[in-house]
Structure formats: structure tokens, C-alpha cells
Amino acid sequence: MPDQKPKTLDAWVKLLDSVRLPVPLASYERVKAAIADNRSSLRDIAEVMQDSPALVLSVMREANHHTHASIGEPAESLEIALNRLGLARTSALLERLPALPEGEIAPTLRQLQLVSQHASQQANGLFASRLARLWQEIHWGSLLFLSPLWPLALTFPKLLEDWELRVVHKGESAPQVEMELFGVRLLSLCKALAEHWRLPDWDTRGYHLLQDERCLLAKALHIARDQNSLRQQQRMDDSPNVRRWFNQPATTVVLANGLALAAQVGWSNPHIRRWQLLTGLYLQTSLDEVQQLVHQQAAISARHHVCHDLFHPAQALIWPWHHRRLHQGQIAPPPPSAQALGAWRKLCAELLVEPSPFSNAIHLTTLARDALVACGMQRVMLLMTDKTLTQLRVHQVAGLPPEAASLVFPIGQSKLLQRLLSTPAQLRLTPENHAQFSALLPAHLRTLFRSEHLLLRSLSSNGRVVMLLVADQAAKPLAEISVQAFGKTAQCIERALTAFSTRSA
């Protein structure tokens, strides 16, 4: 995994192009056996390969590389790609790919590939039977549409998970979040990689639509919301650009992936309703009919692509209608284990020893940090005031970047810090008060603890505030037992500070 993320579009393309995606070992062995079997046709081999999206992408990329694509046009199907490569080159390519047991492949990558398989099933069920002559383009185009994100899910899974949490689940601005996390827009990156890999033309057209023709998409959605079929047709006649877009078979790839991605959150969210309305307009059928078809295809996909440790939207079909799947970042972590709580009690007992056993402040704050981690806090910062009460200097960190350890915060530049350091107090940030208090934090502190669930507590010694604790559980909702333990730990640290200052005197 790279040490640093790229900062430009070209650097991202270069890095992601170099990633070799792992292939599930079972699928790898089946494909090897099929290639070695003289009775297997190219179509037989393609059918065996399609169970591994990573292998499909690798073969399509290799076949469409400029040294092989003498025909000029990219291969639109896996069978064509295999024909261009030949079995000898395909076997050589297979040997170069890492093969791992499925459970050892990164879950973020496998989840995203499951979305692609679900999208392919939606495309097959909704559109391929109506456009039978183009079923291969529909099938492979929909399966590979999200493939530019696959190497990203392998190399920087946390970035992709943060994007999903903030954009999809919390509704933050996609351009702002993407520039902050990646330094580039995701659609620009996907389009650039699709072009670089010479993916099927329908995929690059789809990214062009989503990135450069959003007004056209908005017009189509506006028409789709009008459920009167006669008025819809009249408005389509008045909008030749929209009608032309809906007459393009490549549109099916975008619709299928939009449906599959939106279903990851739930079946009643606004995102999936938009894609269902657009699909209904494309198929010239009602919203109710589209929903029934989409649910049927989700169930079929779950049967074909079952994986017990991943989430498939078909699972949510039996949930209450308005229920939504929570992102892992929205679920409180489990309470600390009995072993962790035992270690926490031992550390707190050491803090309470009198006379103070600590030889210096670093010794004390190291133990204090370890106690906070033991009670369930995953990101911790301990800051101490200077003698003039004008600055806070970081003394200890846990779960934060190394550079955080050298930060200094002027107290006078933050009203919230001034308030916390005027008298011992505890502040708990929640989604309800986050907007009110987060803006009052110093910018560096706000960036390090980008969280709606945060604890800040100031501690005093001999009547003077000398320390500030900042802690959270990796931006997740706080487990109540850990919040209670945090408060008790703060009390122990406060007593340790007083005993230490008395001993020093």
C-alpha cells in the first residue's frame, strides 16, 4: 500500500493503473482448469471468468491495451477480449495476478465488486431482454462501470469509506469532500482511468454524462417525476436532447449502476427513487412496475452472488420500508472487552497512587493516555497549558498522525478553548450541537477530529486548569460505557496531577 496518496489526476491514474487486483483463489483455479480443458470454448471460459470481476477487468484491460487492440475499437465483451488475447496470453496474464482466499481480499474491494455484480444483474434483467442484440455490451459495460474505483478500494479503503459516510449517508457536498479526501473529483478520476484502460465505450460515455451533462440528467429527472405518461411524452418531444439521450443503449449502464449504488443505503431513500424514476422513463413504465422489477433483480443477484460477510441490498427487502442501512461510521463500537476494562482499572489505580510515583509530566501523561485508550477511546490527544495560560501544547496522542504531536494552539484565538480553560468542564459534541461548537474549535483540531461525536474535558490542579483531554471513537457514535469510563479516567488524571504537583513542590 502506498505511503502517501497522490495529489493530482495524473498521479492518481499512474498509481491506480499499477495496482494488481487480487483474484479469489477458487475462481482462479476454476478458470485455470477451464483454459486447460480442450473442450472449453471461449464462451465457456468467459462464463467461468465472470464470477471474478477483477479477472474480467484484467483480461479486458490487457486485450484493449494498444499493443493488442489492432482493430482500434475497445473490446465490448469478455469473449471478444479472450479472442484477441488468445489462450496462451490469457494463461500468462493469469499467472501474473495475485490469487487469494476470498476472506483475505480487502472487504471494501469485495463490497464494491458486489455492487458491480448487482448492477450487472439489474442491467440484464431490466434492459438486456428488450435490447437482445446488445446484451453483451449491456452486461459487460454495467459490470465494469465502477471498475476504476476497485484499485482505489484496495489501496485507500479508508478514503472511500469516509467518502461514502460523508457524501452518501450524511449528505455533505460531494465536490468539497472529494477535493479534501482525494484532491480530485471522483468522476474525473473514473473517466480518466476508463479512457486510459480503454474500457467499453459505454462506460466512458456514462462518465461523460454524469460529469459534463448534468443539466441533461436534471431535465430527464424533471420529466420522469411527472407520472402522467401523455405529458411525459409531450415533454420528451419538446426536449430533443433528452429524447436523444434516452434513445442511446449506453444509458442502460448508468441507470443500472445508479440503481445498485443507491440500493446500498436502502429501498426508500431519495437517491434510489431518482434512479427508479429515470428507469421508468427509459422503459416507459410506471414507478410501481419499475420497483417490482428492480426488487426481483436484486433477489436474483443475491442468489447468484451470495457472500455472508458482505451486505447485499436484497437483505433489506424484508426490513421495514423506511429502514436504512447504517454505515459502520454511524454505529457505536462495541463496549471495551473485560480484558481492556481490567487493564483500564489497573492504569487508573496507578494514577491514584500517593505519593505520586511519577518522575516527570511525560511519565504521567503517557499513563493517562493509555488509560483513555483502554476505556475505548480510539483517538486521543492530551494538551497542557503553559505557565502564562496563553498556549496549549500537545503532550500525548493516540490514533492520530505523528505530526499532531508537535502542535501548539494559541488559547486566545478560540472562544471555546478560552471557555474550557477558564474552569474545569466537559463538552460532548453530538450531531445536534456539532455545528454550534465545531466552528469554535481551532482549525487544526477540527481537522484532526472530524467528528460529530467528540469529548473535550479540561482538568485542574490546585485551582488552575492545566490540561485538556480530547477523545473520540474514530468519529463513530460514542459507546455509553466508554463515555462513563472517560469521565472516571479524567477524575483519576486530575487527582494524579494534583499529587504530582504537590510532590514536585
Nearest to 199 by CA among 257, 143, 157: 143
Domains of the chain: 23-103 (no CATH), 105-328 (no CATH), 338-504 (3.30.450.40)
Nearest to 140 by CA among 30, 252, 244, 294: 252
What are 159-183's pLDDT values in tens digits?
Answer: 999 999 989 888 889 999 999 999 9
Q: Which residues contact 376 (CB under 8 A, 6 or more apart)?
A: 333, 335, 336, 340, 473, 479, 481, 482, 485, 486
In a 3-state reduction of DSSP, which class is residue 3? coil
- Cα radius of gyration rounded to whole Å, the chain: 28
Grid cell digits, residue 498: 494534583
Q: Which residue has the higher pLDDT, 128 or 3?
A: 128
| 179 neighbors 188 (Cβ within 8 angstroms) | no
Nearest to 363 by CA among 466, 496, 502: 496
Q: Is the pLDDT of residue 270 over 60?
A: yes
pLDDT at 69: 43
What are 191-226's pLDDT values in tens digits?
Answer: 999 999 999 989 999 999 898 888 888 898 999 898
Compute the average pLDDT of residues 393-404. Answer: 93
237 vs 244, 280, 286, 323, CA distance in Å?
A: 10, 17, 19, 38
Cβ atoms within 10 A of the Cβ of 276, count?
A: 24
Element holding 276 (H helix, E strand): helix 270-283
d(CA 167, CA 174): 6
Cβ atoms within 10 A of the Cβ of 44, count?
A: 14
Element holding 63 (H helix, E strand): helix 53-64
Q: Is the pLDDT of residue 34 over 50?
A: yes
pLDDT at 228: 83
Compute the average pLDDT of residues 53-63. Answer: 93
Q: Is the pLDDT of residue 130 over 70?
A: yes
What are 464-498's pLDDT values in tens digits?
Answer: 999 999 999 999 999 999 999 999 999 999 999 99
Q: Is the pLDDT of residue 299 over 50?
A: yes
The answer to whether the bond into 355 is cis (omega within 30° of 0) is: yes
d(CA 178, CA 166): 10
pLDDT at 162: 92
**Percent of the chain predicted with pLDDT > 90:** 63
265 vs 168, 261, 323, 328, CA distance in Å?
A: 8, 8, 9, 12
Element holding 23 (H helix, E strand): strand 23-24
Mean pLDDT, all residues of the chain: 91
Compute the average pLDDT of residues 304-326. Answer: 88
Element holding 388 (H helix, E strand): none
| 322 neighbors 268 (Cβ within 8 angstroms) | yes
Q: Is the pLDDT of residue 146 over 50?
A: yes
pLDDT at 71: 53
Question: Which pLDDT band, with edges at 50, 70 and 90, does 245 fall under?
Answer: confident
What are 355-380's pLDDT values in tens digits?
Answer: 989 988 999 999 999 999 999 999 99
| 77 neighbors 140 (Cβ within 8 angstroms) | yes
d(CA 327, CA 404): 27
Question: Which pLDDT band, with edges at 50, 70 and 90, does 72 fall under?
Answer: low
Compute the average pLDDT of residues 38-58. Answer: 91
Question: Among 326-340, 341-355, 464-478, where is mean pLDDT lowest?
Answer: 326-340
Compute the average pLDDT of residues 417-446. Answer: 91
Grid cell digits, residue 6: 497522490
Classify strands 454-461 and 23-24 as parallel, antiparallel or unpaired. unpaired
pLDDT at 1: 56
